């Protein structure tokens, strides 16, 4: 599937899962769809908690769903939210995503179709350098 078609498919999945977000505190619903190198798509939405710090973002829930199904390397993630500017993953999500693939493309779109794109390495350089003697390549 050509990239553009793939991205619109992921955006469609992310828009749909966003409707399941549990966001009674922020009222800010987010959906994410992640594509594995095997071509499979997994999705997640944000799940908030009355103890605010326990909230899990859409991106981390999408990664967890993927890993639970056996996928471990990812080509791209598409995030959808209703914000003026496309959102970018928080620091915790960047670190969790980088566990699996620094080269992954991060694409974020708002409901008007405004888009932001970067590689994960651009958003979080040197994510593993030095930790447990891991060599830092980015």
Exactly one of 34, 41, 57, 124 binds ligand THU (CB under 6 A); that residue is 57
Exactly one of 8, 73, 90, 136 binds ligand THU (CB under 6 A); that residue is 90
Q: Which one-letter DSSP state was computed for residue 20?
A: T
Shortest spacing between CB 35 and ligand THU, in angstroms: 17
Scanning the structure block, which residue is given the tokens 């791209």?
76
Asked if 65 touches ligand THU (CB under 6 A), the answer is no
Burial string for 48-80 (b: 16+ CB within 10 Å, else e) reads beeeeeebbbbbbbbbebbeeeebeebbbbbbb
Compare residues 89 and 124 and give the one whose CB is closer to ligand THU: 89
Query: Which of 23-31, 67-75, 99-107, 121-129 is the region at the interface with ligand THU (rule: CB under 6 A)?
Result: 23-31
3-class secondary structure, 13: helix
């Amino acid at each position: 599937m050509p990239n553009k078609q793939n991205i619109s498919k992921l955006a469609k999945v992310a828009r749909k899962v966003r409707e399941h977000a549990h966001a009674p505190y922020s009222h800010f619903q987010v959906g994410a769809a992640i594509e594995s190198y095997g071509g499979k798509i997994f999705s997640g939405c944000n799940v908030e908690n009355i103890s605010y710090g326990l909230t899990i973002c859409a991106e981390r829930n999408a990664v967890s769903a993927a890993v639970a199904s056996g996928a471990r390397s990812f080509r791209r993630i598409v995030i959808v939210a209703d914000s003026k500017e496309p959102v970018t993953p928080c620091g915790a999500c960047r670190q969790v995503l980088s566990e699996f693939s620094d080269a992954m493309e991060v694409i974020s779109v708002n409901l008007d179709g405004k888009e932001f794109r970067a590689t994960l390495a651009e958003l979080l350089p040197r994510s593993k350098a030095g930790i447990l003697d891991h060599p830092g390549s980015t």
